């Protein structure tokens, strides 16, 4: 037995932004990347900046971001997105430039580039997806993997003496004089998705001020490598990631402008 729904006289209230390509994403069911991609592209559409924005994709699960985001993009070497973005922005200071990076890319192999781009106050937006695990390579320990959290390279759970502590990037870059906007958000509930969009909008718009780096950390899930259902992973994020990675605004030097 089926239900027949007529689309006549119905108002379309939700659709694919024009800035997202008509492509089926390769992300696992329930993964937060799809939501984060959409948020960034909604903002590009709403700000009307498709013609003057350049994105930099990382190495990690979002390595194919340019197959989905309908804007000019560059694929950076692992960890070098902020250096690549710096090269673009210095040549085209009036264009919007952003990086979209995961935790391995931004906070392990690329920490140096991240810190120095933020410290120079490169006028770019850094979108940082923190899901506390290496997704693309299959669940190895990330720099942001929580103590006790199992990963394939710390199967008994991350242990401090052997593996060190999970790194808090928002707190770190907020201390640097070059950043003007730093916020940590999450995409595991509809309310948080809306809040994430507000933060991202602010971050992208801040490039107009030419005053420094905007950094938005998005806590996201990885059902496949956390080895749980999407619903459980969203709950796990609340219970485990939020205590160590508190959501909120870490720096805002733009709101008064």
Partner 1 sequence: MSEMLLMKGNEAMAEAALRAGGEGYFAYPITPQSEVAEYMAREAPKHGTVFLQAESELAAINMLYGAAAAGFKVWTSSSSPGISLMQEGISYIAGAMLPCVIVNVNRGGPGLGTIQPSQGDYFQTVKGGGHGDYRLITLAPSTVQEIVDYMGLAFDLAWKYRNPAMILMDGALGQMMEKVQFKPYTDPGRDISWATRGKSEDRESNFITSLFIKPEEMEQVNLQLQRTYREIEKNEVRYDTYETDDADLVLVAYGLSARIASKVMHILRNKGLKVGLVKPISLWPYPYKVLNELADRVKGFFVMELNAGQMVEDVRLGVNGKKEVGFYGRMGGMIYSPEEVSEKVEAFARKIGM
Query: Whose structure tokens read 């909604």?
Result: 42
**Residue 253 near partner 1 by CB under 8 A:** no
Distance in angstroms (rounded) separating the CA atoms of residues 257 and 253:
8
Least spacing, CB of residue 65 vs partner 1, in Å: 9
User: Which one of 59-67, 170-178, 190-198, 229-237 is the stretch in contact with partner 1 (CB under 8 A)?
Assistant: 59-67
**Residue 95 near partner 1 by CB under 8 A:** yes
Least spacing, CB of residue 223 vs partner 1, in Å: 22
**Residue 208 near partner 1 by CB under 8 A:** no
User: Which one of 55-63, 143-151, 155-163, 184-192 is the stretch in contact with partner 1 (CB under 8 A)?
Assistant: 55-63
Q: 52, 56, 71: which is closest to 113 by C-alpha?
A: 56
Q: Which of 16, 77, 148, 210 binds partner 1 (CB under 8 A)?
A: 77
Distance in angstroms (rounded) separating the CA atoms of residues 17 and 64:
18
**Residue 54 near partner 1 by CB under 8 A:** yes
CB 31 within 8 A of CB 222: yes
**Residue 51 near partner 1 by CB under 8 A:** yes
Least spacing, CB of residue 46 vs partner 1, in Å: 16
**Residue nearer to partner 1 on the CB measure, 74 or 240:** 74
Q: Which of 36, 41, 76, 133 binds partner 1 (CB under 8 A)?
A: 76
**Residue 116 near partner 1 by CB under 8 A:** yes
Q: Which residues pair with 56 in a beta bridge?
A: 74, 99
**Residue 171 near partner 1 by CB under 8 A:** no
Sign of the Cα torsion 118, 176, 166, 30 reads: negative
Q: Which of 27, 32, 36, 66 binds partner 1 (CB under 8 A)?
A: 66
Distance in angstroms (rounded) separating the CA atoms of residues 127 and 198:
13
Least spacing, CB of residue 192 vs partner 1, in Å: 29
Q: Which of 72, 208, 238, 252 binds partner 1 (CB under 8 A)?
A: 72
Q: 185, 191, 209: which is closest to 93 by C-alpha?
A: 209
- Both structure tokens of 204: 């992208």
- Start-to-end CA distance of the chain, whole Å, equals 58
Angle at 96 between CA 92 and CA 99, to 5 degrees: 105
């Amino acid at each position: 037995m089926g239900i027949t729904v007529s689309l006549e006289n119905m108002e379309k209230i939700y659709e694919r932004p024009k800035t997202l390509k008509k492509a089926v994403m390769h992300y696992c069911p329930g993964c937060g990347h799809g939501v984060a991609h959409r948020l960034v592209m909604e903002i590009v559409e709403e700000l009307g900046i498709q013609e003057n924005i350049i994105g930099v994709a990382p190495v990690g699960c979002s390595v194919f971001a340019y197959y989905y985001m309908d804007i000019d993009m560059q694929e950076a070497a692992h960890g070098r997105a902020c250096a690549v973005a710096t090269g673009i922005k210095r040549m085209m200071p009036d264009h919007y430039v952003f990086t979209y990076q995961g935790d391995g890319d931004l906070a392990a192999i690329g920490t140096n580039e991240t810190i120095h781009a933020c410290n120079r106050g490169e006028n770019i937006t850094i979108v940082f997806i923190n899901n506390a695990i290496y997704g693309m390579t299959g669940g190895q320990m990330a720099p942001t993997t929580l103590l006790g959290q199992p990963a394939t390279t710390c199967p008994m759970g991350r242990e401090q003496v052997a593996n060190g502590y999970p790194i808090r990037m928002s707190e770190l870059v907020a201390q640097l004089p070059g950043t003007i906007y730093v916020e940590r958000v999450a995409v595991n509930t509809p309310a948080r998705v809306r809040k994430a969009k507000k933060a991202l909008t602010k971050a992208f718009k801040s490039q107009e001020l030419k005053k420094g780096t905007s950094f938005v950390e998005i806590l996201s899930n990885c059902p496949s490598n956390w080895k749980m259902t999407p619903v459980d992973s969203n709950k796990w994020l609340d219970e485990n990631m939020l205590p160590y990675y508190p959501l909120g605004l870490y720096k805002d030097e733009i709101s008064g402008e």
